[in-house]
Amino acid sequence: MTTSITTINVNGIRAATKQRSEINPGFLSWLDASGADIVLMQEIRADTEQAEAALGPALDAGWHLSMTESVVKGHAGVGVLSRSAPQAVRVGFGSKEFDATGRYLEADFDVPDLGSLTAASLYLPKGAAEPTPSATEKETAKFAEKKRFLGEFGEYLAGAARRRRHVVVGGDWNIAPAELDIKNWKGNLKNPGFLPHEREWVGARLESGWSDVVRDLHPAVEGPYSWWSWRGKAFDNDSGWRIDYQLANRSLRRRAVKAFVDRADSYDRRWSDHAPVTVIYH
């Protein structure tokens, strides 16, 4: 028996669940056809009542929703959709600054043939470029915020990697780890998401007990990308970034057998600027 875990930045669950056209029925249609057992969602951008209304057909069909919203209305928000009810749900990672911002939630499951599993949904801050003398106050603040988040969350991940159970942290990490993970890496060396200290931070996680499952299973391919700008021809030209991924601890990494990005067939079939990233564990 296999377990399918998907991570997806829905870019607003209320918008994602709407049918946009005859050829783009939205998130709920994708969910029905996905075969996923657990879906880790980011950027829900709704309160619990609004999210439950948007996901009503899925919840009526037996899916379970666990989520946390941000104190800033309409911002961030992460959640876990699961076919079976979680045994426990925890919000945040012990941070006074970030636990109420809708950026991290983890749920425990007892999965047949897999065992004890913690599945976490993460929405890491986007940040900003390294501040210069001409940087605005907002840009400087966003850069500093992401750096603080990386510091606190890095410590939390160090402990989580040592848990005596399977652990996966999936989400929008807002960092492309290496040159293979971004189409135009030379043109983005000074942009948030590809800054040297950000990539070094991911590298340190991979040296401390975590595995980037998609990259492990596809070691030499460009991408597979998971985010493309809505603007221009980025999607049509596959000029994307791989910023959505699943980090698994050693015990779970050994159980990963397949990974793929469910890229829409065409621009007008997209219901998010991100694509679902799925890993099959056995």
Return binding residues for Mg(2+).
Answer: 9, 43, 172, 174, 273-274
User: Is residue 172 among the annotated active site residues?
Assistant: yes
Helices (H), the chain: 13-16, 27-34, 48-54, 56-60, 137-160, 196-206, 213-217, 250-253
The C-alpha atoms of residue 11 and residue 29 are separated, in whole angstroms, by 16
User: Is residue 281 among the annotated active site residues?
Assistant: no
The catalytic residue among 37, 99, 172, 212 is 172
Q: Identify the sign of the CA torsion 21, 14, 146, 243.
A: negative
For the CA atoms of 165, 171, 175, 176, the dihedral, rounded to the nearest 10 degrees, stands at 90
Cβ(244)–Cβ(9) below 8 Å: yes
The catalytic residue among 104, 123, 245, 281 is 123
The C-alpha atoms of residue 242 and residue 174 are separated, in whole angstroms, by 9
User: Is residue 245 among the annotated active site residues?
Assistant: no
Length of the chain: 282
**Tokens at 261, concatenated:** 């990005």
**Tokens at 278, concatenated:** 């799925």
The catalytic residue among 37, 212, 225, 274 is 274
Q: Which residues are annotated as a binding site?
A: 9, 43, 172, 174, 273-274
**Facing residues of 259 across strands?**
279
Nearest to 186 by CA among 200, 173, 171, 176: 176
Any idea which residues carry the catalytic annotation? 123, 172, 274
